[in-house]
Amino acid sequence: MWTQIVGKIRLAMTPLMNHWWNSTLYVTPRGLTTSTIASGDGAFQIDFDFISDELVIVNSRGGRATVTLETTSVADFYRQVLDALRRLGVAVPPIQPLPNEVAEATRFNEDTRVRHYDRGQALGFHGVLLSSDIVFERFRAGFLGKASPVQFFWGSFDLAAARFSGRRAPAYAGGKPPHVHIHVMHESYSHELISAGFWPGNDDAPRPEYYAYAMPPPPGLADARIAPATARWVAERGEFILPYDAVRSAADPATALLDFLQSTYDAAADLAEWDRSLLEERVRCECDPLPAGFVAPRVPVS
């Protein structure tokens, strides 16, 4: 809920970008950030700092305000964030206080149930996001076509990146998450894409995992051969998954994840007849390899 509050502030105060990319957060070495948001004749930025247990707000005039990340209610956090922005002179337009993509939604200002803040879980989750972000960025570098940033979606609570063929997609006819307008889905899937990401799971899929899918899915995708061997197709979800534990326990976690990203993209792009000679970089840069000691954190995420 905290990330939804901050994400909705960014969405309300930034120009609309294709596929709602102006609403997302980004991974930093210490947590998550909105990046720069214009305000009046200046700008500000909101950062979750999971190392210092603070939400940090800074502006271009040298102002700084913090909100402690601690056991509290969503309503109290919501009030503290808006108060901190007001102290810095940031005029926040009204945001939709009803959370998105959750089955049981309570308005932020009415959600007074006290929630326990587990610092170890927050640090562990951030560690997984940071390790995954590094690999996703390396994978993204080989694509010349339209590609999303590696970004954190606060509604679905996942880190994701997408590649696009450049062609418009058929009108979206799938389902939608709870408390989301169908227009959001139409815009999200207005163009052909192949996406991959990480999420910590939910009640229906209670284990952390990496995933990959194509929209629209080309015929034959379910039967494609992918790597590593621990990855599989989940028919009811229409996507490939790779358990996080399989990556964490691999001899080379970064390579295992890169194999998953590349093999699922290869399969989907070939079956959908993407113009890969136009979209992909064939001349590799002389960049540093991923560190040999790269290991996804072994802190459990719930």
pLDDT tens, per residue, the chain with 302 residues: 999 999 999 999 999 999 999 999 999 999 999 999 999 999 999 999 999 999 999 999 999 999 999 999 999 999 999 999 999 999 999 999 999 999 899 999 999 999 999 999 999 999 999 999 999 999 999 999 999 999 999 999 999 999 999 999 999 988 889 999 999 999 999 999 999 999 999 888 899 999 999 999 999 999 999 999 999 999 999 999 999 999 999 999 999 999 999 999 999 999 999 999 999 976 454 555 555 444 444 444 43
**In angstroms, rounded to a whole number, what is the distance separating the alpha carbons of residues 247 and 200?**
14
Domain end call among 77, 94, 117: 117
Q: Are 136 and 81 in the same domain?
A: no
User: In the beta sheet, which residues pair with residue 191?
Assistant: 168
Q: Are 69 and 109 in the same domain?
A: yes
Q: Are 78 and 205 in the same domain?
A: no
Quick check: is 239 in a domain?
yes
Quick check: is 291 in a domain?
no
Q: Are 141 and 260 in the same domain?
A: yes
Which residue range is the domain that position 245 belongs to? 120-279
Determine the straight-line distance between the first and last CA of the chain, rounded to whole angstroms: 15
Quick check: is 129 in a domain?
yes
Q: Are 103 and 187 in the same domain?
A: no
**In angstroms, rounded to a whole number, what is the distance separating the alpha carbons of residues 69 and 47?**
12
Q: Are 20 and 153 in the same domain?
A: no
Angle in degrees, 0-180, between the axes of helices 253-271 and 119-140, rounded to the nearest 10: 50
Domain total of the chain = 2
- 37-65 burial: b if 16+ Cβ within 10 Å, else e: bebeeeebebbbbbeebbbbbbbeeeeeb
Q: Are 200 and 95 in the same domain?
A: no
Alpha helix (H) residue ranges in the chain: 2-13, 74-87, 119-140, 182-188, 244-248, 253-271, 276-279
Amino acid letter for position 4: Q
Q: Give residues with Cβ within 8 angstroms of 188, minimum separation 6.
A: 19, 20, 172
Amino acid letter for position 259: D
The DSSP 8-state label assigned to residue 296 in this structure reads -
Q: Are 216 and 77 in the same domain?
A: no
Q: Are 57 and 160 in the same domain?
A: no
Q: Are 141 and 106 in the same domain?
A: no
Q: Are 125 and 103 in the same domain?
A: no
User: 3-state DSSP call for residue 263?
Assistant: helix
Six-digit token string for 207 = 């284990």
Enter the pTM of the model: 0.92
ω into 253 cis (within 30 of 0): no
